Structure 1
């Protein structure tokens, strides 16, 4: 019996020893997998609905600092380099610029001083449309029919933008082509229609032959730098920088609905058309096709991430979805009602880096940071007030150099 006991104990001891080794290996593995951090140079700028407070978030350090803008409720747009953000106060006839202090250079970024306000201000009358191409910035003033333009390199040296008359005042649209010309909407001086798009140079002079294509309305625009798309009730108006224009008819399934908002995803190299009635569609201006994104017809927010790689969609029922911007394939889906119980009361604004999604929560004064792959919450910034618009500036990079 003694021999039998010894024989049974040996395998048991071996199993125990193996278990200890496995446990050690697991612990070592867990220690070897550090927490995934946001890129070092990513910054988030957040404006407030009811106060001029502007909050700058540094997710990598989970830190924040507050600045004072000129007015409450600014819309936010990043400049072409991502170094600056434009704060557009449509009701207050003003645009001002905020400098993140981060300048991207290919695979690394330079620190360019501390975060601060730029010198330039644009006194546009009811500024509503903002366009960038490279370092060029253009703003359309609805109430003055003027383009207000400037180069990023001038934002700390010029007190104001240059104003160029391009037509009669109207709720317009503008895009900037790579060749330095602009495609701008042009409405009849009296009456509701017709509308058309014309191409003007940096002096506001129309170039090329005027197009004979007119529509009953124009709203929404996007460009890849060579081709521009404008939303109209008659179809998507495709405008080349050469001046050539054509209307792309909507699918019969649209009925009377049309795409009144458009975006271009630079990384995905696709156009996204949107409306509250027609839903979300990838628009291919070459094949002249419209491809539904996830069969979505109703949404609270929809946009490309900061790189123009993925499409972020927030549904009215609280579902957050991520789609591949090139193919439209769904990559992630999860409800955020545990964070924001009612997304329809004050629809959150959102943006995303390559790794994280950021969601404003106006009712609780928070900004939620979610893992882009799992949509799990990783951090909450308590910014106070009623945070509204949010945009990513700086650079989604880790390499650093100082100047």
Structure 2
């Protein structure tokens, strides 16, 4: 038999208790902020430092799945739509693609099957540079001097990428313009110099007049689709899709240092240049200026978040800082020394969505999920092994479309 217990409050008692609850629990000026949860279509893909283990994390459900890549220690890149991620293994002449099974459509997303490996693989020799523009994908093979081209729409249909010769084999750089041309480094066949950048079409033919600007080295590149920037010892080489080129000199304070790594933040619409000695600088190729980011000269990792809006900087002392990618203003910083081992010895990788930061902990086999506004830890994924590279794929959206 089910027993029901009722408590009867007589009027006087009820009045007293009601007053007590009102005075103790109610605060008309208090605003309760609901805890932020991750978007339902966000996925984190994590590659192991040495093994072929791959982990797909669903932070909304606090769930994970395991897969196996062809090779361990790959570098990960999201495609333009965010649906796929490329696993680039230069040492093994391999590029393969993983499908999140989630496709973004403006303000909502669709589930497209289950997470799995795509059909397409690339046989580029020593692939090292990966570039996307919309659904277009291009990989530069350092060992064969070729562009290896494909499109997201072909990743479940074609077995391989299309190889396009564009010059001699070298440790190069490439970006894709929105007009379907490519700006690619071109190195002299003998000797160390000169280097230049040329623009080619999808058939590998140079378009426009060759540039007369030559430099002694090229490393690092980024683009907004119409303007590209390349790092060189002589300055930032600005290349426009129209074919115009210009060398922007560094500030005198750089000395012999040069920005050899460059990134573009799509939402912030800014470029970030990096150098282990010169530090972090926001590069404005229109105004031709270099602005130090937070005065930081020593860092272990600096990346835009997945949307390209905020800049995450992890310093050697374990401090994590977040900057507004458009203005360079600091939003928050916090020491993570209680969460992570010595970050200077085993450098973590990190990414972020609109609401959370994700950082790998190879020493302890974990991925930490932090609140982006406070940097407080919200969850830890125990994945085992030595989790290293991490990218966000899927969509930072919660709506599910009906078409």
TM-score range, shorter chain: over 0.9
Q: Per the alignment, in what secondary structure is the counterpart of residue 327 of structure 2?
A: coil
2: CA distance, partners of 1:33 / 1:258:
45
Q: Per-residue deviation at 1:343?
A: 0.4
Matched, 1:222 2:222: yes
- What is aligned with 1:172? 172
Superposition pairs of residues 316-327 of structure 1, within 5 angstroms: 316-327=316-327
- What is aligned with 1:25? 26
Q: Per the alignment, in what secondary structure is the counterpart of residue 385 of structure 2?
A: coil
Matched, 1:133 2:133: yes
For the Cα contact (< 8 Å) 1:112–1:402, is it kept in 2? Answer: no
Superposition pairs of residues 254-403 of structure 1, within 5 angstroms: 254-401=254-401
- What is aligned with 1:45? 45
For the Cα contact (< 8 Å) 1:47–1:55, is it kept in 2? Answer: yes
Give the gaps of 5 or more residues in structure 2. 1-14
RMSD: 1.7
Give the gaps of 5 or more residues in structure 1. 1-13
For the Cα contact (< 8 Å) 2:320–2:336, is it kept in 1? Answer: yes
Q: Per-residue deviation at 1:25?
A: 2.8
Q: Per the alignment, in what secondary structure is the counterpart of residue 253 of structure 1?
A: helix
Q: Per the alignment, in what secondary structure is the counterpart of residue 67 of structure 1?
A: strand
**Equivalent residue pairs, number:** 389
Q: Per the alignment, in what secondary structure is the counterpart of residue 271 of structure 1?
A: strand
For the Cα contact (< 8 Å) 2:341–2:363, is it kept in 1? Answer: no
Q: Per-residue deviation at 1:50?
A: 1.6
Superposition pairs of residues 56-205 of structure 1, within 5 angstroms: 56-205=56-205
TM-score, L = length of structure 2: 0.94
Q: Per-residue deviation at 1:341?
A: 2.4
2: CA distance, partners of 1:209 / 1:22:
79
Q: Per the alignment, in what secondary structure is the counterpart of residue 286 of structure 1?
A: coil
2: CA distance, partners of 1:22 / 1:178:
62
Matched, 1:233 2:198: no
Detail structure 1 runs of 4+ shifted over 3 Å in the superposition: 14-19, 32-35
For the Cα contact (< 8 Å) 2:90–2:126, is it kept in 1? Answer: yes
Once the two structures are superposed, residues 302-344 of structure 1 have per-residue CA deviations (whole angstroms, 9 ceiling, x without a partner) of 0100000000000000000000000000001001111112001
Q: Per the alignment, in what secondary structure is the counterpart of residue 183 of structure 1?
A: strand
Q: Per the alignment, in what secondary structure is the counterpart of residue 77 of structure 2?
A: strand
Once the two structures are superposed, residues 216-268 of structure 1 have per-residue CA deviations (whole angstroms, 9 ceiling, x without a partner) of 00000000000000000000000000100000000011111110000000000
2: CA distance, partners of 1:356 / 1:146:
38
